[in-house]
Structure 1
Amino acid sequence: MPLPEAGKAVPIVDSHCHLDFENFDEDRDALIARANAAGVTRMVTICTKLREEPAVRAIAEAHEGVFYAAGTHPMSVADEPMVSVEELVALADHPKFVGIGETGLDYHYTAESAAVQQESLRIHIEAARRTGLPLIIHARDADEDMARILTEEHRAGAYDCVMHCFSSGAGLAQAALELGFYLSMSGIAAFPRSAELREIFAAAPLDRILVETDAPYLAPPPHRGKRNEPAFVTRTAAKGAEVFGLDYAGFAARTSENFDRLFSKAAA
């Protein structure tokens, strides 16, 4: 699926990136400008450790199309102070703070901290409930616990959620969709060996799909193995358009509409 011609950029959203990471220290403003030139009119930069929230907030404040979210990443939760519901709720007063997280479960590298990850996840869910802001979930090698906790908590009180950088199994995808949640496509979905993952996305309703970079990680082809950046969300979107049988502009428009519905505080 071809990208738009040069000079004819189509508006699209990068729903998840990490603009505060040191990988971007030397050219942060330039890469945001490159994203804008590629049609990326809005992006959400994610704070993964609450003590770094001021720096992430400053980036959002400095750029019109940049919004931010904050939480404690599951891989860091054992080494960081446990965040409180009240701390997360207080952040929601900022006009550019649009989501809770990323939070979740990661048993691939940090299975030994599963119990504290689950405690942190439930705290973030309660903050999402109280603020009405969407929860941003990271899930890796924890499908069963992830589906169970999300379902238990949703029964206790509804909240909105996106499964960021979704690359888990069909079972977790179905559980999330049944709760009314969203699945986000990252560069992984564009990798040649990700046919099974693309099938999971293709089986999902189009109105539950977002696109993201997770920059600086997971650059899609032809940039795989290099530093990812928000402009490259167009490459993942081109593959997403192919998956859903749309042209690029149609897919970009639909995923942007989905973003506006979920991240209503950052709506165009």
Structure 2
Amino acid sequence: MLNKQFMKGLRLKRATVPSFDAYPFDLPSIRTLDELDFHPKVTFFVGENGMGKSTLLEASAVAAGFNPEGGSLNFNFSTYDSHSVLEEYITMIKGVRRPTDGFFLRAETFYNLATMIEELDSAPGPSPRIIDGFGGVSLHEQSHGESFWATFIHRFRGNGIYSLDEPEAALSPMRQLAMLSRIHDLVCEGSQFIIATHSPILLAYPDAKIVEFTDEGAQVTTLEETSHYQIMKQFFDDKDRMLHHLFNE
């Protein structure tokens, strides 16, 4: 199965890193990184804020040819240059297959992407409207969650490589469950996903690799072993006790 995936993994070019005492190389997940293998279907990056999961996802997406602020491989714009230099020190290990579609979806810069689509569509010319590939309705004229969902439903066409950075940020729990179903449909159509997330719902996808980023580095784990799952389970198993401790500390 491994030889059928688009991206087999990534490798940090450690010998070229200028210093492991400076950002982003001082992050534990990067400082201890050598090579990371991807699952042929879905690979999740999970961890607390500041552990480097989104930084590594962004670097892998840019190294694969995507615009740092998101979009397809054809998008090339910059609203604010805030991405790290990590992609310059990352080698993507490609498989034998080549995708016919791809998208880098970032919650943080999705507004910038929506604005760029409107600007490109407003320019004169015979080309079809870009927004028609996103459902035909301006992304700015929908709620944040609905515009996210429209992108995921309409723009992701299958047989593609998709990098998603915290896609649950704009989605309700019900939408996250629907997203699981859509991910599965796209996987069955030959797609591969790399997702940075805080959502235990998304992490429940059954045929996936979960990599948790901690102070000790990045380790492969299971849904039930992630701190996100354990905290949520403790809360709903005995929320009154947890709230009592929180309010009385």
Q: TM-score when scaled to structure 1?
A: 0.36
Q: Which has the higher helix share?
A: 1
Q: TM-score when scaled to structure 2?
A: 0.38
Larger RCO (CA within 8 A; separation ≥ 6): 2
